């Protein structure tokens, strides 16, 4: 236990040095730190007063309890940075009090420093540490040592509270952003679905007018109708792409081992006519192997990458496409390489965003959604995508998906 009297040199507060001066003006004082609570537990008022005198210079809120029961009542309503607990108290001693403190979830991790003036054996001290004590101090107590130890726990508690505050703010912001994102996705789905019907009507009526009233229209009128049909068709495709993107964000994606060769075969069958019309040269280095994926989403990824390889070539050039895979445990990397027009380095990250187009609609038709679908689909399957490209030298897209467990 701490000595009954303390010298003035142990407890006096020294005057602080004057603030440094820069450019003729003193620096503004730092913002006051948040005060924390320190709990002192001892049945003797004089010893509580002595402990309070030693720790008062820390500038924290000191709470005193004259028994274990009173300490437990304080712990029901307040969190403490550290507890200084006397071992030898009548009724409920320090060990029993510590055991009850540790049994409560709110205080089970609060640091406890046992303080005693009785001679303690190794077993006695070991019992204190078994009950969760972080230190065991014997009288006579050196005030500077006690202050140093308590100040460490004060700072740790303050930092812990700051982290908790930051985490709560982060959780609040994440929840708000999640809600906004869900609302935007629902809005995108709604407008995409609801706008498709009137667009199809516009396109249908334009086609009927062109077929039944072509004789009464001049060339300019017919051209306007063709433009109207083309615009309606383009908007319908764009809204369909947006619907697919929205569904990809909202639907459940159940992952399972998928055969890449079978998935690619389905995709090539669906675009076989376009491959023959463009006289494309397609090489597949089979077998491609297995990946953990969602079958429909994986086919959508392959479809968009192969379709882009067919589309983005110079007008007088025959598309040449090569597809292969590489095991890179714990993933499989799949390559889709073409001999097309290539992509400038500063555009190579931009192209995976929604509505990102590098060329005019007349030169290379499209909605600017395809690669955004690819990126989002791979993210939903715990995968990723990248590319290697130089203008005029073709592009090599790659994507990675988890390999099935051996």
What pLDDT digit, counting tens, does each position of 235-260 carry?
676 666 666 666 666 667 788 999 99
Q: Which fold has domain 255-402?
A: Heat Shock Protein 90 (3.30.565)
Whether the predicted pLDDT of 369 surpasses 60: yes
Of the listed ranges 152-161, 234-243, 254-263, 368-377, the least confidently predicted one is: 234-243
The CATH T-level fold of domain 31-141 is Rossmann fold (3.40.50)
Order across the sheet with 395-402: list the strands.
281-284, 320-328, 331-338, 395-402, 384-389
Mean pLDDT of the chain: 79
Distance CA 63, CA 70 (A): 11
pTM recorded for the entire structure: 0.47
Is 60 exceeded by the pLDDT of residue 325?
A: yes
> Range(s) for CATH 3.40.50.2300 in the chain?
31-141
Question: Which numeric CATH code is attached to 166-251?
Answer: 1.10.287.130
pLDDT at 261 over 90: yes
CA angle 290, 294, 300 (to 5 degrees): 100
Looking at per-residue pLDDT, the higher value among 200 and 35 belongs to 35
Alpha-carbon separation of residue 396 from 123, 232, 320, 367 (angstroms)? 70, 33, 12, 21
Q: Once rounded to an integer, what is the mean pLDDT over residues 181-205?
A: 72
Over range 72-90, report the average pLDDT: 90
Per-residue pLDDT, averaged over 117-143, amounts to: 74
Given a cut of 50, is residue 205 above it in pLDDT?
yes
Please, where in the chain does CATH 1.10.287.130 lie? 166-251
SS3 string of 315-352?
CCCCCEEEEEEEEECCEEEEEEEECCCCCCHHHCCHHH
The residues of the chain that CATH labels 3.30.565.10 are 255-402
Position with higher pLDDT, 101 vs 348: 101
Looking at residue 191, its pLDDT comes to 67
């Amino acid at each position: 236990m701490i000595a009954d009297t303390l010298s003035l040199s142990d407890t006096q507060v020294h005057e602080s040095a004057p603030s440094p001066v820069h450019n003729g003006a003193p620096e503004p004082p730092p913002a006051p730190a948040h005060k924390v609570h320190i709990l002192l537990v001892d049945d003797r008022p004089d010893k509580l007063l002595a402990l309070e005198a030693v720790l008062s210079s820390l500038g924290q809120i000191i709470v005193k309890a004259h028994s274990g029961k009173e300490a437990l009542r304080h712990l029901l309503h307040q969190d403490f940075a550290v507890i200084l607990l006397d071992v030898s108290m009548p009724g409920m001693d320090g060990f029993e009090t510590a055991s009850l403190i540790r049994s409560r979830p709110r205080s089970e991790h609060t640091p406890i420093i046992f303080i005693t003036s009785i001679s303690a054996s190794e077993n006695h001290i070991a019992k204190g540490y078994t009950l969760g004590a972080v230190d065991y101090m014997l009288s006579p107590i050196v005030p500077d040592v006690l202050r140093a130890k308590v100040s460490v726990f004060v700072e740790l508690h303050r930092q812990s509270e700051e982290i908790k505050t930051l985490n709560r703010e982060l959780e609040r912001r994440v929840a708000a952003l999640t809600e906004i994102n869900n609302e935007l996705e629902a809005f995108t789905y709604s407008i995409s679905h609801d706008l498709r019907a009137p667009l199809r009507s516009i396109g249908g009526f334009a086609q009927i007018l062109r077929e039944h009233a072509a004789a009464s229209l001049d060339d300019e009128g017919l051209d306007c109708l063709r433009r109207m049909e083309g615009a309606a068709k383009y908007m319908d495709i764009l809204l369909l792409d947006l619907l697919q993107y929205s569904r990809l964000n909202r639907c459940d994606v159940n992952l399972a081992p998928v055969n890449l060769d079978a998935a690619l075969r389905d995709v090539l069958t669906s675009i076989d006519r376009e491959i023959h019309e463009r006289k494309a040269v397609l090489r597949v280095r089979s077998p491609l192997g297995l990946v953990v994926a969602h079958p429909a989403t994986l086919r959508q990824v392959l479809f968009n990458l192969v379709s882009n390889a067919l589309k983005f070539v110079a007008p007088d050039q025959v598309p040449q496409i090569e597809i292969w895979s590489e095991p890179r445990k714990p993933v499989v990397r799949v390559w889709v390489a073409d001999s097309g027009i290539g992509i400038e380095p500063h555009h190579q990250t931009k192209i995976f965003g929604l509505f990102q187009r590098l060329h005019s609609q007349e030169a290379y038709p499209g909605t600017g959604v395809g690669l955004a679908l690819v990126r989002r689909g791979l993210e939903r399957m715990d995968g990723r995508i990248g590319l290697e490209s130089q203008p005029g030298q073709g592009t090599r897209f790659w994507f990675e998906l988890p390999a099935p467990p051996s």
